[in-house]
Structure 1
């Protein structure tokens, strides 16, 4: 090589605005902005053209999911009273699962926005998050019901954040970016440490691990990960989860895939749309009561209709064909 190259990572110019290129950009700002808008619009139009019917079904599924969750949370809250211990326990459990459902809807919307803009690989990265939400919601719904074998599971999940609070505080202080009057003083750090100790004494040493909130579901010293959790639902997700990792991490796999132009983007879009719809529906089904029983009589089947409609929309998205009306 006849030339030498210098690279300055972290370079800070004294007057960046005076860069010749920066000055040219300032002079052409409106023109460049219009070009960027056109590029974005072209990209979005191409994505919609390829997956028009699927994207429309996903949009309707998102809207219907919001409406279904709103109905479910209102209907459940109407049945609960603060004066009953069983009601309070169920209310705490339902707050966790419905909160996960709300987060699933938000993540699904992010996936949809990425698909609409032709960014299927990025959407697959967000699909991994939706996959986690589905598994966690399913585990808590199947195993953490107040009337089930592990009624403490929702509270274990809620409190799990506090185990890591002290470590996070230390990491934030170590960055040196906090203001001089930050709130993480010695007393606050001591309180966070006491809270961590309290939770470990309450739930056991394995509670300190990444998935420690679920440790009571497994024998001692089990190495818990998302795949192990999914197995309690009789679901095998490790292969899908690993494949999505390349879109989340800066791995060698991701590097290779980003350089390959083999037409997989379109296939990724169909894969992501199909699985995103499925994960969302399953998560919502954990919080939508299909039947409301009053005095041993079925009084309300509205939730059953919501659930059926969500399943139908997910099938429309998977078929990537427009709905044709009545029938199965």
Structure 2
């Protein structure tokens, strides 16, 4: 790990000012991703600005239209909060599918959204990686790419977004509240938060340097009764998804009024399948219709040399997640 300056912010304004003033500065919350990257010499910040004294950013509170989750709330706090478990069980399930209990006790909502890829070529500083060193090449493209993307990738990067929480937030149409320089605030719909790699894979999201996530907000919805998070992985715990599915249905009588199908482990960002959703709306919640939706979801998949299995696995995971969503009641 390289030397760096350390500062502990006492306000949002101070935190934003300190990071904005130094192009190589980083915010520190739980540190479960950033510190690993620093130890591996992948991230090389010259200054760290600690946010942990900003206790107001850890609040989880009801709003007139839903819930506000502070950026410093830990994953464990969010997953186990009564308002989340009752009204947004999909989010609770997704968080509990991630990492380990110890990491969930440290990892924060804001940090979870900001986490970087777990591509092994990204972590190996001896290998070329456009995400780590733009213009150096993508070793994974012609390398071992079993864990890599089947949607939305480019010849510059085929890495996948590793998180679980964000998959549920995409399904629940969350918004992200941001504070920038000069006290300016803005919101970003979660669907626009992360980026596909294109020609700039080093840019994981649409935040400007120095902008601080202060909260994630969820509106009321009709998905609480029928939602499920399914994560398929190599081992039962502390493993990233081969394929994950955040599935949510709202029914009107015996037909599907609204549907959400978001895939994890298949793209550079959570991959919402509007094709699957369109195939479900207005239909009965039957296995045949779930299979048709799964086929629609995977129709445009473009597997690489070692991950064609994700296409069939994705289809089966979608069907199973939708079936379990129908079995769920709160």
Q: TM-score, normalised by structure 2?
A: 0.25
Q: TM-score, normalised by structure 1?
A: 0.25
Higher normalized contact order (CA 8 Å, seq sep 6+, divided by chain length): 1
Q: Which structure would you say has the larger Rg?
A: 1
